[in-house]
Amino acid sequence: MNKFVNTIFHADARDLLAKLPSESIDAVISDPMYGTSRSYEYEWGTDPANGDPELHWEYHQPIYEECRRVLKPNGRLAWAQSPKFCQQFHDWFGDHRLWTLTRFRLAGKNATGHTWIVQTKEQEPVPMPDRDSLVIYDKIGPLRKLHPCIKTVEELKFLVEELTKPGEVVLDCCCGRGSTLLAAEHLGRRWIGCDISKRYSQIAKLRMDNLRSHMQSQGSLRAPTDFVADRC
């Protein structure tokens, strides 16, 4: 297991997951292609589901089931999902809670909150914590050029903090530019990431190197702001 920890793989999630032992992961926090009305162009091509729920689930179900297999008993799963498919959520995921994280730009403009399916390995719902889910962010402009779907480190920190304890292992098997992994590193969790895109996995590695060298230069385990890690 140690050979996978704190590593970002350029791999298909299905291949990486097949190599991970059952019941080895404390939390899966992943933002797969969530199927908006828009067909996103990724570095390797277009979302094959193109907004169609059946095609979407045909692609994602094996990944989701493998994620549940590798979770420890009572392990937590957070899975970003477009509201477009809300009528399918119970069929696909069983019992869960929807966490909608409110997001505001520092400049005062609001942005739509992202929706996350949150449940245990056993498909028990995990309630929202009794604290604001407000995510305030800025300076994501340059990152938007590197990946079509932005998730900020701030948003992922909320989930990592609520769903895991220090030292636990977080898996993001569709890690894109690596925001989940940066959030985990920042908060003293261990992590495993992969993305099918060579370019995105390289960007994630670069951002992680930047975060780690910043944290080392500060002689501290915590960077003062999340944005430093975004200068890649």
Ligand X SMILES: C[S@@+](CC[C@H](N)C(=O)[O-])C[C@H]1O[C@@H](n2cnc3c(N)ncnc32)[C@H](O)[C@@H]1O
Q: How far is the CB of 220 from ligand X (least distance, A)?
A: 24
Complex with ligand X: residue 14 or 222, whichever CB lies closer: 14
Q: Which is nearer to ligand X, 45 or 124 (CB)?
A: 45
- CA dihedral sign, ordered 192, 127, 100, 122: positive
- Contact in structure between 135 and 152 (CB atoms under 8 Å): yes
| Shorter beta-carbon distance to ligand X: residue 185 or 195 | 195
CA-based angle 145:204:32, to the nearest 5? 80
Minimum CB separation of residue 130 from ligand X in Å reads: 26
Residues that bind ligand X (CB under 6 A): 12-14, 31-33, 42, 147, 149, 151, 173-174, 176-177, 179, 194-197, 200
Nearest CA among 5, 29, 11, 121 for reference residue 69: 121
DSSP state of 231: -
Query: How many whole angstroms separate alpha carbon 102 and alpha carbon 186?
Result: 21
- Closest to ligand X by CB, 120 vs 197, is 197
> In 3D, which of 166, 208, 183 has the Cα closest to residue 78?
183
Cβ 73 to ligand X shortest distance, Å = 25
Which CB, 74 or 231, lies closer to ligand X? Answer: 231
CB of 168 to ligand X, least distance (A): 19
Q: How far is the CB of 97 from ligand X (least distance, A)?
A: 20
Handedness of CA 148, 157, 190, 28 (dihedral sign): negative
Neighbours of 46 (CB within 10 A): 11
